[in-house]
Structure 1
Amino acid sequence: MTIRSAALVISPSRAEAIAAAKELAPLLYSAGFSLYTISDVSIEGIKKVAPADLPDIEIAVVLGGDGTILRAAEITLKRNVPLLGINMGHVGFMAEVNRPTIAAIAESIIAKSYVSENRMILRFAVERAGKEIGTGWALNEVTVERDGTTMVELFVEIDNRPLSHWGCDGLICSTPTGSTAYAFSAGGPVLWPEVDALVLLPISAHALFSRPMVVSPKSEILVTIESSDALLSADALRKIPLHAGDRVLITRDDQTIKLSHVSKTLFTDRLVAKFKLPVEGWRGE
């Protein structure tokens, strides 16, 4: 029998996630899976490894919320494998809307019957004194923010043309996936995942024009730091301190994240469930 491998990424702070992993592991193990985790948990049948030591896997299963999914994306992007998010009690925008049974989750993994969609990611590069000092990526958003109590001074260009100077708390560049995260809380628009666009949004800018903008994914967004310091953050996980004169180039990446679900769910239904939108009385099917 061919040995199959899967990673379970588990939120260690959620008792229900650990309980679900303990129930799921024997079902997958009995089907011939070798199981691994990068999470700080100890569960029989699941080998705990460092992310760098994780072997080839066919899927990563996330038992947790959207934050855990963002952490798991770091291991699936490099391997180009599906990322299956399971709702552990709180409706998110990347996990299942309704939590499937453990048996249904196991069956979808064993039969590979889960559905996947490719989600856009961003690529960034930081230049200092003419040299590239850092690169990275983000599934939700790249932000350039103040790194202290005073606002940052930023100059933004799009496609080699000047857009604006902003004194602000920061600037968000978001994917459609990230439009329901930090960008949403800052007043940005909600983009359906299949919309091919980026959101650019100054945070608390001292300017006459500081509205959210929807930008072509083919565009190059260049942010120059004009204040003494700032902080680049990618999905609030990967951070780079910035200094005056640093330039941050943000573009769409050629790679994508394969976000997967046990069953297909429309984004509209996800939006309704997340915000408990009033749809009572709708007579459609």
Structure 2
Amino acid sequence: MKIALHGRPLKEAAIPCVQHIFSELKRRGVSVQVYEPFGHFVTRLGIAPEDFSVFNRPEQITDVDFFFSIGGDGTLLETLTFVGDRQIPILGINAGRLGFLAGTLCSDIDIALNQLFAGEYRYDDRTLLHLDANRELFGGVNFALNEFTITKRDTSSMIVVNTYIDGEYLNSYWADGLIVATPTGSTGYSLSCGGPLVMPDSGNFIISPVSPHNLNVRPMIVSDNSVLSFQIEGRSKNFLVSLDSRSKVVDATIKLTVRKEHFKARLIKLAGQNFLHTLRAKLNWGLDSRN
């Protein structure tokens, strides 16, 4: 078996967790491939496995059975950029803060590894969105798990995002920006802008304006079979376009189209992990002293 590991430099409290993961994988005879900067980090700490290969680019990852993302949700989003359309199953290990997607706690790592090697898990396939533009923006990594956003670049005046669904005019959003979120992203930026929570398998996109000037404009749920297109106007010459945590500066000549990606993100769901429990545990959803 071969497992790839992606991570960022971690806080001191998470180091024993990483060391334990390496020890367990060695004990089980697993071949390990590590993201090179993370490999340098664990080597400096003296906890790196004795024999491991490294990767820096997706094409360097070969014959991998599972992908471990060690960190928080941001690390897991980065992990997806290496996995791409190969749909390598990803286990998110929470060595960060909130860990909404990276749901396996370091304290549960032995349980998680036992379930993984015993095959006691299932796949949680999550819809991704795909961005097309009239020029190259993200080096071919044109997909996102959480959201696509258009925002003003600085503290200048609001922008206007002319929005179309399947070629039909929807609205011109006068706002600080606009978010198109997947169901997975409904718990992120979209939620903070008043968007609804959506179940992961609901088959929808959420269009949420950021600080809209029109008070009668509210978030809207559309089918993820829709094709959404955008044209941007504003006094500023430059705007910011983002896919998850990756962003690029564009100007008003950009033409943008968002649709459902043809492949999905394949997350590993272990026993006892489910979306509703995560809502209550991570977001204190429905917290009420009467309950």
1:133 aligns with 2:142: no
Is residue 10–residue 95 contact of structure 2 (8 Å, CA) maintained in 1? no
- Structure 1 residue aligned with 2:9: 12
> Structure 1 pair 281/225, CA: closer, same or farther in 2 (3 Å)?
closer
Alignment pair present for 1:235 and 2:238: no
4+ aligned runs moved over 6 Å, structure 1: none
User: Could you give the per-residue CA deviations for residues 108-147 of structure 1, whole angstroms, max 9, x where no partner exists?
Assistant: 33233232210000000112xxxx4345110000001111
Give the whole-Å Cα distance in 2 for the aligned partners of 1:219 and 1:233: 20
Change (3 A) 1:101 1:269: closer
In 2: Cα distance, 1:113 partner to 1:271 partner = 23
Alignment counterpart, residue 183 of structure 1, candidates 181, 190, 206: 190
Of the three residues 5, 26, 29, the one matched with 1:32 is 29
Does structure 1 conserve the Cα–Cα contact (< 8 Å) formed by 2:85 and 2:263?
no
The answer to whether the 8 A contact 1:11-1:18 is kept is: no
1:222 aligns with 2:225: no
SS in structure 1 of the partner of residue 136 of structure 2:
strand
2:75 aligned counterpart, secondary structure: helix
Other-structure match for 1:142: 148
Asked if 1:272 is matched to 2:280, the reply is yes
The residue that corresponds to 2:264 in the other structure is 256
Q: 2:199 aligned to 192, 196, 200, which one?
A: 192
Q: Given the alignment, which residue of 120, 125, 131 partners 1:118?
A: 125
Selected match of 2:20 from 17, 20, 23 = 23
Under a length normalisation based on structure 1, what TM-score does the superposition of the two structures give? 0.88
User: What is the alpha-carbon distance in structure 1 between the residues aligned to residue 112 and residue 71 of structure 2?
Assistant: 14
1:246 aligns with 2:246: no
**Contact (CA 8 Å) 1:6, 1:33: kept in 2 or not?**
yes
Gaps of 5+ in 1: none
Note the 1:80-91 alignment, pairs <5 A.
Answer: 80-88=87-95, 90-91=97-98
More moved, 43-52 vs 134-143: 43-52
The CA RMSD measured in Å over matched residues stands at 2.1
CA shift, 1:188, in A, is 0.7
Return closer, same or farther for 1:98/1:32 CA change in 2, 3 Å cut-off: closer
Residue-by-residue CA offset, 1:65-124 (whole Å, 9 max, x unaligned): 111111111122343111111233644321226555332222233233232210000000
Query: What count of residue pairs does the alignment treat as equivalent?
Result: 274
Paired with 1:185 and 1:281, the residues of 2 have a C-alpha distance of: 26
Instruction: Give the match's secondary structure for 1:13.
Output: coil
Task: Supply the distance in 2 between the matched residues of 1:223 and 1:90 (Cα, whole angstroms).
Answer: 34
| Structure 1 contact 17–63 (Cα < 8 Å) conserved | no
Matches of 1:255 and 1:78, distance apart in 2: 6
